[in-house]
Amino acid sequence: MKLLKLYVFALNNINIISNVKISSEIIFYYNLKSIIRKVTNLSFSFQHDRWEEEKKSDGVKWTFLEHKGPVFAPDYEPLPKNVKFFYDGEEIHLSQDAEEVATFYARMLDHDYTTKEAFNENFFKDWRKTMTDSEREKITKLSKCNFKQMHAYFVQKSEERKAMSKEEKKAIKEKNDEVLKEYGFCTIDGHKEKIGNFKIEPPGLFRGRGEHPKMG
């Protein structure tokens, strides 16, 4: 804060600063240090930036790293009892693992991927691996599966998120900010660095690009 006040003072009193030229563009880090020293005749101790330090030998980029670790996606929450899955017109109560993977497909019902043969075949093959023995005996063809209620449920949840009040959005933002403070930074050789992406992507179906043979 003191540094900011001195910076503002320097800008407001530019006429009294001798031998200092300030362009209309942004004053960068080193120019700012020079201006403040001329105005106050004080010597400030600035923390060295990482790129100012001596380069390490043998291509070593850093010697110490401290980070709390990545943030994993929340655990799966089972669907409400009124959201049902049907196979060949018959209601089927899926086990939790099978239901979770089924929701991956249900979310994408309105996407072109679910019209592609490779996507459907790969999904169904992997989905059956999560089923119980009794589920595998009953569910043998993807074309007879009805995910419509699941899909409608996720569409509804999406609309509810869009219609949230300012207070609800603010509460979510504050929660996300707390997560960012805890996991969004690391320490490298004594320097605090922001991490670009510290969240693990939630599970879902692989899409790939173009006609990728492993899509689904």
- Residue 53 is predicted with a pLDDT of 60
DSSP label at residue 35: H
* Cβ-Cβ contacts under 8 Å for 39 (sequence gap 6 or more): 6, 9, 10, 13, 17
Task: State the pLDDT confidence band at 213, using cuts at 50, 70 and 90.
Answer: confident
Task: State the pLDDT confidence band at 52, using cuts at 50, 70 and 90.
Answer: low
Contact 37, 58 (CB under 8 A): no
- Residue 22 is predicted with a pLDDT of 38
Given a cut of 80, whether residue 30 has pLDDT beyond it is no
pTM higher than 0.85 for the full model?
A: no
Torsion of CA 88, 90, 91, 97, to 10 degrees: -40
- Residue 91 is predicted with a pLDDT of 97
Query: Rounded to whole angstroms, how far apart are CA atoms 180 and 186?
Result: 11
Contact 64, 187 (CB under 8 A): yes
- Residue 159 is predicted with a pLDDT of 95
Mean pLDDT along residues 9-13: 42
- Residue 54 is predicted with a pLDDT of 63
